[in-house]
Structure 1
Amino acid sequence: MLATIKKTSRHRLSWFLLALSALALLASGLYFQYGLNLQPCIKCIYIRAAFAGVLLAGLLGFLAPKHDFLRLVATALWLISAAIGLYHAVQLVNIEQTLAAGGFSSCALFAEFPAWLALDKWLPAVFEVTGSCGAVDWQFLGLSMAYWSMLILAAYLLAALIVLIGQAARISDNPYR
């Protein structure tokens, strides 16, 4: 089974589908912001950055899926991006639940990206904070955007872990196995 996972990760289609899914999620976030005028909070921006990291990992893996080192770096980037995004999505869901229960919660008003990765300065139309945390302006099947992001990022994290574990498998060149 691990060999099958490793073989699958050595094909461009797998990495293309990963990049395409992350691009679709980024595009939907931008549609919510600019099409439906739902302004993103700081946690939403961090989640958006995590989806951009998954997109970058998919593109990196797509470049050379048979190159072991590059595939491992792409998988690590995918794993780290999904984990960071999941962390922020869980925090945002907790803020929404606190506010829904009548409590008080707040979050920062400005993104705190590292100086070497100032996404809010480089691409303000995509990564600038324009809203506040906790507002549930959109739901699908009774779940907020933050909750859906949490589920998607958890799935990305699980998939990245499975792919990372699969890299330890040996692939036999014997055609009779």
Structure 2
Amino acid sequence: MLSLLNQYSQSRLAWFLLFFSTLSFEITALYFQHGLGLAPCTLCIYQRCAILGIMLASIIGLIAPKYTIIRLIGIFIWLFSAYKGFTLAIFHAHLQFEPNLSDTCSINVQFPTWLPLDIWFPSLFNAYGSCADKIWTFLTIEMSQWMIIIFACYIITGLAILVSQFFSAPKASIWSK
């Protein structure tokens, strides 16, 4: 099974599927914000950036999936972004379900001075909602909980792909075309 995952990771199709999944989540987030009028909070914006990090990893993997070093760079960026998003989603759920006066989130997003996304793209990266508000539920699960599930899936898949890199792919491959 791990050699099969290694084989998949060497194909552009697999990296494109990763790209497509992140693009779908970004489009969904923008629809929630602009279509449904749901106000994103600071943690929502940071989680959106974590998804963009996974998207960047998929683009790196798409460039040259046959080269191990390129794949590993993509996988490590993927895992780092998924881990950061997971911790942000956990904290977001904590703020919603276990409110504590000492735990708060900032009103304004804080990007590095060399990458002021909130200034460059204010309609995408400005936060004007409260982190403690529960504004969207699907199947009785809040958005912050869905993000925990989504990032956990990205971490588990990324770890499986990373471990598979230590197993050789079969010589005959349907993905090498």
TM-score scaled to structure 2, two decimals? 0.91
**3-state DSSP of counterpart to 2:150:** helix
Moved over 6 A (4+): none
Q: How many positions carry a matched residue from both structures?
A: 172
- Structure-2 separation of matches of 1:48 and 1:147: 15
Q: Which amino acid aligns with 2:26?
A: L
Q: Which residue of 2 aligns with 1:130?
A: 128
1:149-164 correspondence to structure 2 within 5 Å: 149-164=147-162
**3-state DSSP of counterpart to 2:127:** coil
Q: Which residue of 2 aligns with 1:29?
A: 29
CA offset at residue 172 of structure 1?
A: 5.1
Q: Which amino acid aligns with 1:48?
A: R
Q: Which residue of 1 aligns with 2:110?
A: 112
Gaps of 5+ in 1: none
- Structure-2 separation of matches of 1:116 and 1:150: 29
CA offset at residue 174 of structure 1?
A: 7.7
- Structure-2 separation of matches of 1:79 and 1:118: 24
Matched, 1:142 2:140: yes
Higher deviation after alignment, 115-124 or 30-39: 115-124
- Structure-2 separation of matches of 1:110 and 1:146: 19
1:12-45 deviation per Cα after TM superposition (whole angstroms, max 9, x unaligned): 1111111101001011111111111111111101
- Structure-2 separation of matches of 1:8 and 1:172: 11
Higher deviation after alignment, 40-49 or 56-65: 56-65
Give me the identity figure in percent: 37
Closer, same or farther: CA 18–172 of 1 in aligned 2, 3 Å: closer
Confirm or deny: 8 A CA contact 2:2 2:164 kept in the other structure: yes
Closer, same or farther: CA 174–25 of 1 in aligned 2, 3 Å: closer
Confirm or deny: 8 A CA contact 2:4 2:170 kept in the other structure: no
Q: Which amino acid aligns with 2:167?
A: A
Q: Which amino acid aligns with 2:154?
A: Y
1:101-148 deviation per Cα after TM superposition (whole angstroms, max 9, x unaligned): xx5452111222223333223322211111111111110000111110
- Structure-2 separation of matches of 1:116 and 1:157: 28
Q: Which amino acid aligns with 1:159?
A: T
Closer, same or farther: CA 172–127 of 1 in aligned 2, 3 Å: same
Confirm or deny: 8 A CA contact 2:54 2:81 kept in the other structure: yes
Q: Which amino acid aligns with 2:164?
A: G
State the Cα RMSD in Å.
1.6
- Structure-1 separation of matches of 2:172 and 2:76: 29
**3-state DSSP of counterpart to 2:114:** helix
